[in-house]
Structure 1
Amino acid sequence: MTGASAAAWEALYRVWRVGDTAGLATVVATFGSAPRPPGTPMLVTAEGRVVGSVSGGCVDGDVHARALAAVSDGVPRLVSYGVSDDDARAVGLTCGGTIEVFVEPVDARSFAELPRLIACQRLGVPAVSATVVAHPLRAAVGAHALVTADDDLGFNGDLGFNGDLGFNGDRAFDGGTAPRSDGALAPADEALLREAAWRLLREGGAGGARCATLRLSGAREGEMRVLLVPYLPPPRMLVFGANDFAAALVPQARLLGYRTTVCDARPVFTTAERFPEADEVVTAWPHRHLADEHEAGRLDGRTAVVCLSHDPKFEIPLLAAALRLPLGYVGAMGSRRAHADRVARLRAEGVTEAELAALASPVGLDLAARTPAETAVSIAAELILLTRGGLPARRSTVPVPVPGPVPVPGPVPVPTLAPVPAERATAKEARR
């Protein structure tokens, strides 16, 4: 979850706690090119204040108006935005894609599970929320459920819990559903809702938020559409080597949502003052710290390990251990000559060719980076490419040429346009 999304949820919780109503807009589905992924929230308070965004700005104004309407009339709505036309009064996406946005009023009755969801987000407990965005019965639209992997959430007074927390015997709880009228969501529909959420939770939230179409049975035939949003602890990045490259990489990693650890065996270099943006600074032998984290169960398939040390006594034991773990990314900094020596040493340690194939070395995309900041950008870019399923981009075998100055293009001919009617021009300016 991004910082902007977390801010929207925290702002919604503040509104919820004081008993007010707010409008919550959430991206449900995207088709083609779209600026924000499913699950992205945007909060609109009753006073019109906005936290978050569901687009690059092109439809946020219309979503804002619909959220205020939802606060006023208490009715949720599912809205689709496609490509805008030439009409200045039209609202749509300029990127050529289509997005669906679910806009709902939120208060203590309609979203009773919100405090539990906030607790999961704050404490890093994996959870999946499920929201009915379409149903044959209008009263069922907006029903919510929450499932989570752990009931030990440590609620405190800040979250304001009272009464039964709804725990069950299999060390999981859910917040129940909150249909907009009693009995609106039939038990069979509720079971479908929860099973879909559990399935995504068991998959570890793979693939992110999604909209599922569930076939109803019994007297209420038809389909309901459910928005499933996983909330997972932030992925971890372990940066080994306390140097300027690590100091540049940590803020880049935080921008991508990683929880960062800087580790080095040399205490004089491994200080919190040198890495103020790191979540954790550890003085330890790199391979031993990695082993400790693995044994404690704090590593998973999203974890990134980046070795920025050139010292073989540190990097070879570390990389040999990291390449044998089911991690998301293992990279090591160095020149191509250093890479060849590194690979030879790892082979001598018994690392297989299949394991070596997972090593990103030299680390980062081949951007001809020279400074620590540029190297950090190249590493972040490679992580985005791999985690988003982009095309494989291994480094070239020849140096990347550094281009010369880009020639300044001449003036672009401006076509002659017919005058725009005054009322249409006014509408266009208003939209801008």
Structure 2
Amino acid sequence: MRELLPVLLDRLTAGPVALARVVATSGPAPRQLGAAMAVTAAGEVIGSLSAGCVDSAIVHAATDVLDTGCAVGERFGPADLDDIAIGLTCGGEIEIFVERIGPERVADLADLRASVGIGRPVALATTLTTRPLWRLDHPGATGSWRGLDKDIADLRDAGRCGIVGVDDTEAPRVCAADRPRTFVHTFAPPRRLIAVGANEFVRALCTVAKNVGYHVTVVDPRPVFTTPARFPDADEVVVAWPGRYLEDEMDSGRTDSATAVCVMTHDAKVDVPTLVSALASDRVGIIGALGSRATHDDRIARLTVAGVPRDRIDDRLRSPLGLDLGGHTPAEVAISIVAQLISERNGGTGQPLRDVEGPIHRRVPGS
């Protein structure tokens, strides 16, 4: 839904919009929790909720919601080829909540967009009721809300989306008005990718990584090459010695186990100090270095001379970086690198799907 926020704020200037979000899934599902689609009164559809199998039904539901103002929940299960009913061909189940939003939501959406923009953890709690209530929950928020404050904060702090509370059909002895069934839509700060080097491979990596949600920093000590104009898709372009920069970032707490460091300069006086710093710390996650087999062998030898234990190198360093896709151009290399980042983050194998058993859509660890 991050990408929909500026669009929603823009379309709300013309009138109410129907917002549909995935609030629950079971089994293999085409989209993750929080995936969103908006439908305007003029019939414009922005975003999607599936591979197309349920979107048309949601557009019809959204039209009704715009007319009545009453929110609805829609559930879809596995598709039956002998049944005319709409279903999911992937075999999973999905619950979608559709509500009408108008000018009364502009302030909350603007606040949400601002929080996402500065990387502040925030959760949007929405009661799954006919007339939904909203609450934006930031770290340090005060005041009680529907008896769900701790539940919302726990999901927000874990960076997870989910449903909290109860409804009358599931827990008839608990008053749903006190703890209504509520979707907690969490917007965690984007994962960081620190790309070392100011070259065309890093430029391509910025574009691909940005498109899958990374906050990308380019760092290189050469000011003539390290400029925002050369890296328009980077969030930050820093002129500094990468090893020192990385140590400062780690010491200040601006990196964590979700941070990826990709060293792509092919210059030992830059590569080696950066990798020594990264490998010595647990405050970064994936550590990779681009290069040929010969470059890799030379790099390992230099790291060993610098005092990095060989088992630490073998356990932590992805070198040569990237999956074996057979590509050569900067864009192809960037895709192979980001594919490896995605695979390792989600516990994937990197193999062709036809050669892998089990569900295609795995649950992300911690979700």
TM-score when scaled to structure 2? 0.84
Equivalence for 2:290: 333
CA distance in 2, matches of 1:321, 1:296: 14
Equivalent pair of 2:152/2:164 in contact (CA under 8 Å): no
Q: What letter corresponds to residue 12 of structure 1 in structure 2?
A: L
Equivalence for 1:143: 133
Equivalence for 1:184: none
Task: Say whether residues 1:255 and 2:251 are aligned partners.
Answer: no
Distance 1:191 1:313, change over 3 A: same
Equivalence for 1:36: 31
Task: Say whether residues 1:240 and 2:218 are aligned partners.
Answer: no
Indicate the RMSD between aligned Cα atoms, in angstroms.
Answer: 2.8
CA distance in 2, matches of 1:272, 1:145: 37
CA apart distance, 1:373: 2.2
CA distance in 2, matches of 1:354, 1:142: 54
Q: Secondary structure at the match of 1:113?
A: helix
CA distance in 2, matches of 1:302, 1:214: 33
Equivalence for 1:305: 261
Distance 1:242 1:219, change over 3 A: closer
Equivalent pair of 1:78/1:101 in contact (CA under 8 Å): yes
Equivalence for 1:277: 233
Distance 1:114 1:374, change over 3 A: closer
Correspondent of 2:337 among 374, 379, 382? 379
CA distance in 1, matches of 2:110, 2:205: 34
CA distance in 2, matches of 1:115, 1:307: 37
Correspondent of 2:5 among 5, 9, 27? 9
Task: Say whether residues 1:122 and 2:135 are aligned partners.
Answer: no
Q: How does 1:185-224 map to 2 (within 5 A)?
A: 190-192=146-148, 194-203=149-158, 205=159, 208-212=160-164, 214=166, 220=175, 224=180
Q: What letter corresponds to residue 386 of structure 1 in structure 2?
A: E
Q: Unpaired runs of 5+ in structure 1?
A: 150-170, 178-189, 394-432
CA distance in 1, matches of 2:12, 2:72: 20
Equivalent pair of 2:155/2:162 in contact (CA under 8 Å): no
What are the Cα deviations for residues 149-203 of structure 1, in whole angstroms up to 9, with x where unaligned? 2xxxxxxxxxxxxxxxxxxxxx4357x86xxxxxxxxxxxx122x2111012222
Equivalence for 1:399: none
Equivalent pair of 1:120/1:126 in contact (CA under 8 Å): yes
CA apart distance, 1:11: 2.5
Equivalence for 2:359: none
Q: What letter corresponds to residue 195 of structure 1 in structure 2?
A: K
CA distance in 2, matches of 1:108, 1:9: 14
Q: What letter corresponds to residue 8 of structure 1 in structure 2?
A: L
Equivalence for 1:321: 277
Correspondent of 1:390 among 336, 348, 361? 348
Paired residues, what number? 345
Equivalent pair of 1:259/1:279 in contact (CA under 8 Å): yes
CA apart distance, 1:252: 0.8
Correspondent of 2:141 among 148, 162, 172? 172
CA distance in 1, matches of 2:53, 2:287: 38
CA apart distance, 1:219: 5.6
Correspondent of 1:92 among 60, 83, 87? 87
Q: What letter corresponds to residue 141 of structure 2 in structure 1?
A: A
Q: How does 1:62-101 map to 2 (within 5 A)?
A: 62-86=57-81, 89-101=84-96
Q: What letter corresponds to residue 172 of structure 1 in structure 2?
A: A
Q: Secondary structure at the match of 1:119?
A: helix
Distance 1:110 1:367, change over 3 A: closer
What are the Cα deviations for residues 240-299 of structure 1, in whole angstroms up to 9, with x where unaligned? 122221122111111111122222222333233332332332222110121232334322
TM-score when scaled to structure 1? 0.72
CA apart distance, 1:43: 0.9
CA distance in 2, matches of 1:114, 1:243: 38
Equivalent pair of 1:110/1:142 in contact (CA under 8 Å): no
Correspondent of 1:366 among 313, 324, 341? 324
CA apart distance, 1:63: 0.2
CA distance in 2, matches of 1:273, 1:341: 33
CA apart distance, 1:385: 0.5
Larger radius of gyration: 1
Equivalent pair of 1:238/1:261 in contact (CA under 8 Å): yes
What are the Cα deviations for residues 210-234 of structure 1, in whole angstroms up to 9, with x where unaligned? 2345587976179853322211232
CA distance in 1, matches of 2:288, 2:309: 16
CA distance in 1, matches of 2:242, 2:106: 45
Q: What letter corresponds to residue 302 of structure 2 in structure 1?
A: R
CA apart distance, 1:64: 0.8
CA distance in 1, matches of 2:212, 2:26: 23
